[in-house]
Amino acid sequence: MQGTPPSDHQLRVMPWWLVLIGLLLAAALGWWVLDWLLGEADRAAQPDTRATLRIDAIRTGLTVVAGTGGGLALLLAARRQWISERAQRHQEAVAAHDQAHRERVQAHAESVAEAGQRHQEQQAAAAEHDAAERRLTELYTRAVELLGNDNAAVRLGGLHALERLGQDNPAQRTTIVAVLCAYLRMTPPDDDARETEVRRTAQRVLTRHLRADGDGWWPGVTLDLTGARLDGFDASGCTLVDADLTGAVCVGVTRFTGATVRGRLTLRATFDELLLDDLTGDGEVVLDGARTARTSFDGADLGGALSCRGATFVRVTFRGTTFHQPATFDAARVQDSATFREAVFLGGLSMEHTVFGGYAGFRQARFADMALFRWTEFGGETWFERTRFEGAANFGRARFGGPVSFDGATFARPVLVDQARAMAGAPHAWPEGVTPERLDGDWLLLTDR
Please tell me whether residues 282 and 402 are part of one structural domain. yes
Residue 381: Cβ within 10 Å count: 19
In a domain, 368, yes or no: yes
Instruction: Identify the DSSP state of 430.
Output: P
Q: How many domains does the chain have?
A: 2
State the first-to-last Cα distance of the chain, in angstroms, to the nearest integer. Answer: 105
Structural domain boundaries enclosing 226: 207-447
pLDDT at res. 14: 60
pLDDT at res. 31: 73
In a domain, 186, yes or no: no
Please tell me whether residues 233 and 378 are part of one structural domain. yes
Please tell me whether residues 239 and 91 are part of one structural domain. no
Please tell me whether residues 255 and 356 are part of one structural domain. yes
Cα 58 to Cα 23, 50, 102, 446: the distances in Å are 19, 12, 65, 161
Beta-strand relationship, 443-447 and 421-423 = antiparallel
In a domain, 396, yes or no: yes
| DSSP3 helix / strand / coil % (the chain, rounded to 5) | 40, 25, 35
Please tell me whether residues 352 and 250 are part of one structural domain. yes
pLDDT at res. 1: 46
* Spatial distance between the Cα atoms of 294 and 315, rounded to a whole number of angstroms: 5
Q: What are the beta bridge partners of residue 270?
A: 249, 291
Please tell me whether residues 356 and 247 are part of one structural domain. yes
Residue ending a domain, choose from 126, 152, 168:
126
Which residues have CB under 8 Å from 157's CB, separation 6+?
A: 146
Residue ending a domain, choose from 126, 150, 168:
126
Residue ending a domain, choose from 94, 126, 158:
126
Q: Specify the amino acid at residue 422.
A: A
Calculate the CA dihedral of residues 410, 413, 416, 421 and round it to 10 degrees. Answer: 10
Q: Long-range contacts made by residues 338-341, C-beta under 8 angstroms, separation at least 24?
A: 338/313, 340/365, 341/365
Look at residues 399, 365, 384 and name the one whose alpha carbon lies nearest to residue 431: 384
Q: Are 299 and 320 in contact (CB under 8 A)?
A: yes
Please tell me whether residues 240 and 366 are part of one structural domain. yes
Please tell me whether residues 99 and 240 are part of one structural domain. no
Please tell me whether residues 119 and 216 are part of one structural domain. no
Residue 25: Cβ within 10 Å count: 12
Q: Are 368 and 391 in contact (CB under 8 A)?
A: yes
In a domain, 162, yes or no: no
pLDDT at res. 189: 74
Please tell me whether residues 337 and 235 are part of one structural domain. yes
DSSP letter for each residue of 333-381: EEEEEEE-TT-EESS-EE-TT-EESSEEE-TT-EESS-EE-TT-EE-S-
Please tell me whether residues 120 and 236 are part of one structural domain. no
Burial of 227 (C-beta count, 10 Å sphere; 0-12/13-18/19+): middle
pLDDT at res. 37: 67
In a domain, 26, yes or no: yes
pLDDT at res. 185: 94
Per-residue pLDDT of the chain (449 residues; tens, 9 = 90+): 445 555 555 556 566 566 677 667 777 777 777 677 667 666 665 666 666 766 777 777 777 777 777 777 777 777 778 778 888 888 888 888 889 999 999 988 888 888 888 888 888 887 776 676 677 778 788 888 888 888 999 999 999 999 999 998 888 999 999 999 999 999 887 767 888 999 999 999 999 999 887 678 899 899 999 999 999 999 999 999 999 999 999 999 999 999 999 999 999 999 999 999 999 999 999 999 999 999 999 999 999 999 999 999 999 999 999 999 999 999 999 999 999 999 999 999 999 999 999 999 999 999 999 999 999 999 999 999 999 999 999 999 999 999 999 999 999 999 999 999 999 989 999 999 999 999 888 999 999 87
Please tell me whether residues 217 and 113 are part of one structural domain. no
